[in-house]
Structure formats: structure tokens, C-alpha cells
Amino acid sequence: MSEPAEKKENIPDASAGKGIPNGGSPAKTQEDFDLATIYVSDAQYNRNIYFDTSPQAVRLYLLYNHWALKVLLYFFILVNLSLAIFEEPALVSLPTWATMLVELLCLLVFTIRLVHYAKVIPREKFWKDPKNICIIVVLLLTLIDMIIYGALKAANLYSVRWSRVLRPLLLINVTEGRQVRA
């Protein structure tokens, strides 16, 4: 009777390897698959963005490149560019407060998108990229112009929006605008 007990000790226990997936090879996590998805997608769409590979940054990068957010970005760029049709001097002029409110919403969306991008890539890479600096400068100059224009309009003084010519720079300098820049 003791003989079967010895054989049982020599036989590897099947339950010992149960906790180790893939027969003992390192486990693949969801983060590994997400990272692989990003590399394949970047190669497919010819994107060359240096991003942080931490799990949080990978999730943010996947969200950043989601098609719905890109469509939303281009929608707000289109709205921002089309504001020139409705601002003074225009044939179909909307009230100043309406166009400025829409433009402020567009600036908010562009700022959120830029902050999202800043969370994805390393900080030193973000600040060395001239496109990001250009977007920040355009956003700040537009905001300053809106404040000055609104104050002069409230005082019933003549004023001109000089930041309108900067609007196309947002289209050119967004990360997805590489084909437009070319």
C-alpha cells in the first residue's frame, strides 16, 4: 500500500500549475494587449507619437485615439473656422455674445484635448514639440483678444478681432493634422 503513495509523490501535481497561465510562461495582462494594439494601430495609420507605456498612459492613449474623440475634435475645429461667417462684418451677423460663447466652448475643447495629450506623452517631449507650443500660444492669444474685444464692445468703443487669422493654425497644429501640414 505504501508503493502507490510513492508513485503519487513522483507524479507532478496538476493543480500546482493551475495558477500559472500558459503552462508557466509569464502571464499576459490586458495592459500588454492594449500596448500591442497601440503599436499595431500606430503602424497601420503611420503615427509616430512617443508615449509613456505606463498602464494609465496606455489607457489614455487609447482614449485619445478613439475615433469619436477625433470626430468631435474636427467638428469643433470646423465650428471654430465657420464662426467667421457669423461674426461682424458678416451678412448674417449673430450677436457678439453668441459667437464669443461658441468660440469659448471651442477653446475649452481644444484645451482639454491638449491637456489629454500632455498626459499621454512624457512632459519633456510635450514641451519640446513646437506644435504644442503653437497651440498654447494661439489659445492664449485668442482668449486675450476675446477679453479685450468684449471689454471694448461693452464700453461702446470700436474694436476689431485680430485673432481670427490664427484659427487655421489650430487645424494645422493638432496632432492629427499631419496631412494638412504636409
The predicted-structure confidence for 127-167, as pLDDT tens digits, reads as follows: 998 999 999 999 999 999 999 999 998 999 988 888 989 99
Q: How far is CA 132 from CA 5, 101, 118, in A?
A: 71, 24, 9
Lowest mean pLDDT among 45-59, 60-74, 136-150: 45-59
The 3-class SS string of 137-180 reads: HHHHHHHHHHHHHHHHHHCCCCCCCCHHHHHHHHHHHCHHHHHH
What percent of the chain clears pLDDT 90, i.e. is strictly above it? 36
CATH topology of domain 66-181: Four Helix Bundle (Hemerythrin (Met), subunit A) (1.20.120)
- pLDDT at residue 54 is higher than 70: yes
**Furthest C-alpha separation in the chain:** 107
Grid cell digits, residue 127: 514641451
- Dump pLDDT digits (tens) for 70-107: 899 999 999 999 998 998 877 788 888 899 999 999 99
Instruction: Delimit the domains of the chain by residue range.
Output: 66-181
Contacts 24+ apart (CB under 8 A), 65-68: 65/38, 65/41
Q: What is the pLDDT of residue 93?
A: 84
Contact 77/171 with Cβ under 8 angstroms?
A: yes
- pLDDT at residue 49 is higher than 70: yes
- pLDDT at residue 14 is higher than 80: no
Q: How far apart are CA 182 and CA 178, in angstroms?
A: 6
Q: Which residue has the higher pLDDT, 71 or 178?
A: 71
Q: Which residue has the higher pLDDT, 111 or 57?
A: 111
- pLDDT at residue 48 is higher than 90: no
